[in-house]
Structure 1
Amino acid sequence: MFTEEIEIMKLLSEKYSDDIRIFFKSPKSIDEIISFEKETGIRLPDELRELYKLTNGFDSNIAYMNLWSLETIKKHFNEGYNDWIEEGDSDKYIVLGSDGSCGYLLMEIATGNYLSYGDEGEVMPIDSIKDLLCWNIDHIYDSVRDFEGDDKVNNYLERNADRL
């Protein structure tokens, strides 16, 4: 489901290694994902499960968002990590990642819906993780300012223009 997006992010990281560093963590097995779900009591949406089977999160110096590992998510969830929410909401959401500053990617526990929580407190619904990865690729590619330099990335962005 996300093979192309991960492949393109790796390609950009390799091609523009002077500017972009993306570190992909080792993938999780379905048993490890189920163990996370049992330990936290949170069922991950199928698309998120699929992503964690490809990578247990990623960190980037330039990306629109970083996806936290299941271990980091569990740690923050167990600690009631909530410097970004209204009092009493810490049991409604889990934090899946950040944008490198004060913004967060959230998942509403009851529905599995995704939200972006900005550094000014603005909340934006996100339809899918695939959309988020597409935005990430666009942001990363835009940051290197080499728009004509890679047909594979340009073709991907053209095919996914409706997500941007």
Structure 2
Amino acid sequence: MFNSFVSKVKPKRINTALNHFDWVQAMQDELDELERNIVWRLILTLKDAFVVGLKWVCKNKMDKEGYLICNKARLVVKGYCQEEGIDYEETFTPVRRLESVRIFLTYVAYKNFQVYQMDLKCAFLNRELEEMVYVEKPPCFVNEKYPDHCYILDKTVYGLK
């Protein structure tokens, strides 16, 4: 039942992950998803811009029997480096409201529909930002053509305040 393309190693450091093809593929999938959702734009770094760092968070995904099914890599903003009142005004995390879930389930029961659970890859990455937030290029995925560039976020990402 073990998938030979999925590494059981859960790396603590990015250099360890880069030694395993499946972790590199998981990171590339995350970057592709960010590009597909038009989360950011590459720009020349401004002199007075505060550029927030990024880091990779790696996790092994298991099925209900405990078998490893895939590796998941998330690119996370180091939001703990931001200072309230300077880099952000408030912390916002889009979540489902319990009332919405109840209304949905009531409607499903009324119409006698079937409900299936599904895992959304990038459910968090849908809120557009009003603020100007600059982030560094992803660790170990730096484009050498643009050494003086950073990304400006158009949409929210994990860890952002």
TM-score (norm 2): 0.27
Q: Which structure is larger by alpha-carbon Rg, 1 or 2?
A: 2
Higher RCO (CA < 8 A, seq sep 6+): 2
Q: Is the strand fraction higher in 1 or 2? A: 2
Q: Is the helix fraction higher in 1 or 2? A: 1
